[in-house]
Amino acid sequence: MAKGMREIKRQIKSVQSTKQITKAMEMVAASKLRKAQEKAESARPYAEKLKEVVSSIASGSNNVKHPMLETRPVKKTAYLIITSDRGLAGGYNANILRQVTQTIAERHRSQDEFVIFIIGRKGRDYFRRREFPIAESVTDLSDTPAFSDIKTIANKAVKGFELKEFDELYLCYNRFVNALTQIPTVDRLLPMATPESATASSSINYEYEPSPEGVLEVLLPRYAETLIYGALLDGKASELGAKMTAMGSATKNATKLIGELSLTYNRARQAAITQEITEIVAGANAQS
């Protein structure tokens, strides 16, 4: 019995240590989540302004043509997938990887029909183990990444479409709703749908040099790269929200387990004391 009580006490101390770690990780994730949300929000005005200018050009010129706006027969598809470098984030990685794997299985019969661009070690390792064709990967990003961190892979993905290395580019990431909800999303990034005409309230008359097509040549790739960066920031917020939720659940489970172990320990201790009293009484009765 004494050995069993020592084991229970050791388990209680172990779970208490784990609880301290998960609680600390929950608080750190909550702090980083606020910063990630602020960074995602601060990047939106730039993307919205680019969209406004692109929309203005497209609506003002009837014969605007650009490779990124042209739909062509699909022979090969590219997927740019955003995951995390580390785990302990609940279903964050599993959800988006499952969604992408299912999409690929439904749409392609051969690995020659698609190629993958991957951000995050978890996704890279997942697809590498399955021997999927990986064109480019980026890992070891901070929780508040800069555009320069993913500029190379974003540029290579966009340029690959322009050079007709593949005919579609899909952006795959977890869309942030709140700390409890992240939605696995697979959106077609390229070819871009022709931007909608600007509304009357936001319409501005621009003068273009040398030409609308020349401006689009510069703006459209930059706009696509900005959308990739925005999805990355959204994915980082989703990752931190999932991590905060997962660590919160782990802390609650640890608290519950400590309570159960403490109850078991107290019952075992009470039984041991009762047994000792019974033995003492029995010994006294035997001597009388």
Using the predicted structure, report yes or no on whether residue 114 has a pLDDT greater than 80: yes
Other C-beta atoms within 10 Å of 253: how many? 14
pLDDT in tens, 187-200: 998 887 765 544 44
Q: Average pLDDT for residues 239-260, to the nearest whole number?
A: 93
Q: Is residue 281 part of a domain?
A: no
Sole residue written with tokens 């319409």: 203
Q: Is residue 56 part of a domain?
A: yes
Q: Is residue 257 part of a domain?
A: no
3-class DSSP state for residue 214? Answer: helix
Q: What is the C-alpha separation between 116 and 148, in angstroms, rounded?
A: 20
Q: What is the C-alpha separation between 172 and 120, in angstroms, rounded?
A: 12
3-class DSSP state for residue 138? Answer: strand
**Cβ-contact 232, 82 below 8 angstroms:** yes
Q: What is the C-alpha separation between 11 and 152, in angstroms, rounded?
A: 49
- How many domains does the chain contain in total? 1
**Cβ-contact 229, 165 below 8 angstroms:** no
What residues contact residue 221 under an 8 Å CB cut-off, 6+ apart? 68, 155, 158, 159, 162
Q: Is residue 228 part of a domain?
A: yes
Q: Is residue 11 part of a domain?
A: no
Q: What is the C-alpha separation between 63 and 167, in angstroms, rounded?
A: 22
Residue 120 belongs to domain spanning: 28-245
Q: Is residue 280 part of a domain?
A: no
- CATH value at residue 173: 3.40.1380.10
Q: What is the C-alpha separation between 171 and 190, in angstroms, rounded?
A: 9
Q: What percent of the chain has pLDDT over 90?
A: 49
Q: What is the C-alpha separation between 33 and 195, in angstroms, rounded?
A: 32
Q: Is residue 36 part of a domain?
A: yes
Using the predicted structure, report yes or no on whether residue 12 has a pLDDT greater than 80: yes
Task: Classify the C-alpha dihedral 34-35-41-47 as positive or negative.
Answer: negative
Q: What is the pLDDT of residue 190?
A: 87
pLDDT in tens, 140-153: 998 889 999 999 99
Q: Is residue 68 part of a domain?
A: yes
4-16 as b/e, with b when 16 or more CB fall inside 10 Å?
Answer: ebeebeeebeebe
Average pLDDT taken over every residue of the chain: 85
